[in-house]
């Protein structure tokens, strides 16, 4: 405040690796330093912390919240998926995955798990037993996401293969992936993160030196195995560990540097055009070239409040323009000014 008093919101120093939703606008963030804990963030402020009580080796990399309120946490080096109650009581949920990492829940309660070393996706039932394993030719699976709008008890999923630069599609019941979209830049060996925007396309964090965030239209369902045009949305999104989209939230992006940004993407009925407007000094908006049939453009108009839409709607422009803006709320050294939250809101530290 103006007197120089500071209030710690969230120090963000625990190298967060994954998150899941909390309440109407909050997050459960998985951190590992100095110990594995689940940090509860509501309205941009730290609320509470849940310890993950276990003698595990290395970092826990994935988190999911079950319908009963408990959390599943993946211990990659130990080959265990742990279950932690809201009070911090921890037990072993499953040992069926060799190196479990990212977790995602199906509507029926089953769990998809990314096996990092085996480069496969494993589907577990609600008791932690294997239903199926999905693999194929040698992959380097960086990330995966579920089709949140499917409406089925088990939903289609998309996976990103960074070795060959391909977005893969898996339909419920299938034994293998189907190549859906070829990326124009393979970037073999670089671990990228991505999120699927149902019926629209994909946002990929390249995790390159520039921190590039790119948009890819969902053309693979129309032209199978098509080569995508990767359209640059913004720079400055570095060390991205997790991304997720939700109809009433927009796109949430988590960085290991200790911030979460909420990206709003609003689409018109005919020509969706994503256009993030990053506000932090580290982000440089870029004019976005034409992407047939999508024309993303970048703007420089920060929004005062987060906006996330389930059924995307057009903005007040002649052509519908999805918007994404960014402000950062810093928890140390810079709290002499009010905390700002906008359509990309970042909770961070320096």
pLDDT for 230-269, tens place per residue? 888 888 899 999 999 988 888 899 999 988 888 877 676 5
Average pLDDT for 161-189:
82
List all residues 6 or more positions away from 283 whose beta carbon is below 8 Å from its beta carbon: 211, 234, 235, 236, 237, 326
Confirm whether pTM is higher than 0.85.
Answer: no
Query: Degrees (nearest 5) of the Cα angle 330, 331, 336?
Result: 80
- Residue 152's pLDDT band (cuts 50, 70, 90): confident
Q: DSSP class of residue 264?
A: P
Q: Inform me whether the pLDDT recorded for 9 exceeds 70.
A: no
**Block residue for tokens 């996330």:** 308
Average pLDDT for 52-64:
87
Distance set, CA 155 to CA 97, 106, 113, 216, 241 (Å): 21, 7, 14, 21, 23
Residues 41 and 234: their CA atoms lie apart, in Å, by 26
Residues 285 and 231: their CA atoms lie apart, in Å, by 12
């Amino acid at each position: 405040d103006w007197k120089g008093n500071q209030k710690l919101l969230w120090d963000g120093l625990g190298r967060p690796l994954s998150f899941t939703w909390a309440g109407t606008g909050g997050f459960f963030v998985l951190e590992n330093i100095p110990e594995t804990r689940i940090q509860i963030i509501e309205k941009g402020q730290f609320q509470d912390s849940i310890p993950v009580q276990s003698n595990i080796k290395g970092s826990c990399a994935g988190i999911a919240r079950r319908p009963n309120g408990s959390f599943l946490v993946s211990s990659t080096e130990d080959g265990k998926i742990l279950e932690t109650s809201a009070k911090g009581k921890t037990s072993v949920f499953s040992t069926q995955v060799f190196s479990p990492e990212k977790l995602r829940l199906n509507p029926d309660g089953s769990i998809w798990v990314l096996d990092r070393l085996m480069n496969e996706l494993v589907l577990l039932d609600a008791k932690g037993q294997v239903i199926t394993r999905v693999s194929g030719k040698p992959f380097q699976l960086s990330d995966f996401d579920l089709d949140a709008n499917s409406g089925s008890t088990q939903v289609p999923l998309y996976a990103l293969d960074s070795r060959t630069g391909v977005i893969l599609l898996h339909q419920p019941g299938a034994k293998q992936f189907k190549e859906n979209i070829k990326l124009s830049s393979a970037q073999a060996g670089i671990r990228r993160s991505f999120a699927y925007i149902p019926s629209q396309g994909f946002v990929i964090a390249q995790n390159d030196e520039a921190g590039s965030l790119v948009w890819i239209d969902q053309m693979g369902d129309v032209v199978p195995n098509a080569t995508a045009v990767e359209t640059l949305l913004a720079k400055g999104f570095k060390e991205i560990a997790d991304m997720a989209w939700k109809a009433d939230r927009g796109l949430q992006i988590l960085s290991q540097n200790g911030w979460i940004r909420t990206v709003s993407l609003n689409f018109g009925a005919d020509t969706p055009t994503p256009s993030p407007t990053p506000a932090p000094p580290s982000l440089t908006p870029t004019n976005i070239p034409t992407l047939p049939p999508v024309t993303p453009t970048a703007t420089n108009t920060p929004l005062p409040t987060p906006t996330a839409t389930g059924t995307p709607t057009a903005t007040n422009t002649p052509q519908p323009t999805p918007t994404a803006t960014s402000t950062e709320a810093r928890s140390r050294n810079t709290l002499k000014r009010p905390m700002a939250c906008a359509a990309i809101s970042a909770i961070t530290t320096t």
